[in-house]
């Protein structure tokens, strides 16, 4: 195909704060390598300032004019937002990424958990690929529903509300069942239905939606037991679906099983829009040193290509290059015990992606 007939994708880049700009630069490098490899895909990147830095500049971490532009983008690739020292008067951190989820109605938080090398995780005896599951986290309600309510510092008590709506739960479960149907066919609901009425309601709706997907096996676990099983036997999981706060906590635990936050990609998806970002935050302890692991962001870019119609070949190339790198190289970034710099890892993955030997091609799926 000639470049003139290539598919063009407009990607909004939100590098954000802390290590965000450093890891986004490597994802862009790898996406440029995808372009070099595939004549049929072209990217137009447009960068926007959003986050704690933008708040310090303009007083608004997500200016309205920027939000309108983001709404028109083909897809949004985000680095990390927030800095511990930049806070709202209530004491909470700037989290425009959470606001984006709410305003773009990105109800489905998808967090793939995949072990790329046996040495990466703390568990013994797991080879590459033997931990391979996806957490689907509800992302617009749950316990996060209360986050904007504020509180009076002299109040005798403060309550947070865990909201579960029928419409919100049904659409989440349908997305999770579809994902399980396209993988190994097992969907695990994680809740606290034995204690909280909202969670009993959540489970009831899960059971109703399950009837629509007879080919998918289901199981139901309480969140405390699920935390135990995730550590004892992560192999048993395929797709997990859960409430917003439980998903927030368990996805960090799951990232720990496969090498930490630098190895944990994510996507927040709705019916029309999606934001792709590493599951980690701005990691101020690493910022400015060029030592963050960009793999999570590079894999988030691959998820973006899976989602954009007509770009899935690029996603396969990126994942194959990441797989090949960890299988064949002993170089690692600092979080995985090595000395490789952020930019060097981006270079290595970009170079592998543009190589075309048979072993590499066999990894593409």
Residues in contact with ligand ATP by the rule CB under 6 A: 19, 23, 82, 260-262, 280-283, 285-286, 292-293, 296, 335
For ligand ATP, the closer CB: 284 or 316: 284
For ligand ATP, the closer CB: 18 or 234: 18
Nearest approach, Cβ of residue 220 and ligand ATP (Å): 28
For ligand ATP, the closer CB: 26 or 138: 26
For ligand ATP, the closer CB: 119 or 207: 119
For ligand ATP, the closer CB: 20 or 74: 20
**Both structure tokens of 110:** 């998808």
Nearest approach, Cβ of residue 95 and ligand ATP (Å): 8
Q: How far is it, in rounded angstroms, from Cα 54 to Cα 66?
A: 11
Nearest approach, Cβ of residue 3 and ligand ATP (Å): 33
Q: How far is it, in rounded angstroms, from Cα 71 to Cα 78?
A: 14
Beta-ladder partners of 189: 220, 241
Nearest approach, Cβ of residue 167 and ligand ATP (Å): 27
Which is nearest to 138 in space by CA: 159, 183, 178, 168? 168
Nearest approach, Cβ of residue 294 and ligand ATP (Å): 7
For ligand ATP, the closer CB: 141 or 248: 248
- CA separation (Å) from 30 to 17, 26, 233? 21, 6, 33
Which is nearest to 284 in space by CA: 76, 71, 49, 84? 84
Nearest approach, Cβ of residue 296 and ligand ATP (Å): 6
φ, ψ dihedrals at 54, nearest 5°: -65, -35
Residue of this chain nearest to ligand ATP (CB atom): 281
Nearest approach, Cβ of residue 263 and ligand ATP (Å): 8
For ligand ATP, the closer CB: 90 or 233: 90
For ligand ATP, the closer CB: 169 or 275: 275
Nearest approach, Cβ of residue 281 and ligand ATP (Å): 2
Per DSSP, the chain holds a count of helices (H) and strands (E) of 12, 10
**Both structure tokens of 221:** 């676990």
Strand stretches in the chain, DSSP E: 7-16, 41-47, 75-80, 108-114, 132-138, 186-191, 217-222, 239-242, 265-269, 274-278
SS (H, E, C) 294-319: CHHHHHHHHHHHHHCCCCHHHHHHHH
């Amino acid at each position: 195909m000639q470049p003139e007939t290539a598919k063009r994708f407009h990607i909004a880049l939100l590098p954000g704060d802390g290590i965000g700009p450093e890891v986004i630069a490597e994802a862009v490098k790898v996406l440029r390598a995808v372009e070099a490899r595939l004549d049929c895909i072209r990217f137009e990147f447009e960068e926007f300032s959003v986050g704690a830095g933008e708040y310090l500049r303009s007083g608004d971490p997500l200016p309205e004019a920027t939000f309108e532009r983001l709404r028109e983008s083909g897809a949004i690739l985000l680095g990390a937002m927030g800095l511990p020292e930049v806070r709202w008067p209530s004491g909470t951190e700037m989290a425009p990424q959470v606001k984006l989820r709410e305003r773009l109605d990105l109800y489905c938080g998808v967090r793939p958990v995949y072990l790329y090398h046996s040495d990466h995780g703390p568990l013994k005896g797991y080879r590459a690929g033997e931990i391979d599951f996806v957490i689907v986290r509800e992302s617009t309600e749950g316990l996060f529903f209360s986050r904007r309510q504020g509180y009076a510092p002299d109040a005798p008590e403060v309550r947070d509300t865990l909201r579960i709506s029928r419409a919100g739960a049904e659409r989440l479960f349908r997305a999770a069942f579809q994902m399980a149907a396209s993988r190994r066919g097992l969907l695990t609901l994680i809740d606290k239905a034995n204690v909280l009425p909202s969670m009993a309601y959540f489970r009831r709706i899960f059971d109703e939606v399950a009837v629509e997907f007879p080919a998918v096996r289901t199981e139901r676990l309480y969140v405390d037991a699920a935390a135990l099983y995730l550590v004892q036997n992560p192999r048993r999981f395929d797709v997990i679906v859960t409430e917003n706060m439980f998903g927030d906590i368990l996805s960090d635990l799951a990232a720990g099983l496969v090498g930490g936050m630098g190895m944990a990609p994510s996507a927040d998806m709705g019916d029309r829009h999606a934001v792709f970002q590493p599951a980690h935050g701005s990691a101020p302890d690493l910022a400015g040193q060029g030592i963050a692991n960009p793999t999570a962001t590079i894999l988030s870019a691959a998820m973006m290509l899976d989602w954009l119609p007509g770009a899935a070949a690029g996603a396969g190339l990126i994942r194959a290059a990441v797989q090949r790198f960890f299988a064949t190289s002993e170089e690692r970034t600092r979080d995985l015990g090595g000395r490789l710099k952020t930019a060097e890892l981006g270079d290595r993955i970009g170079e592998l992606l543009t190589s075309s030997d048979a072993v590499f091609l066999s990894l593409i799926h």
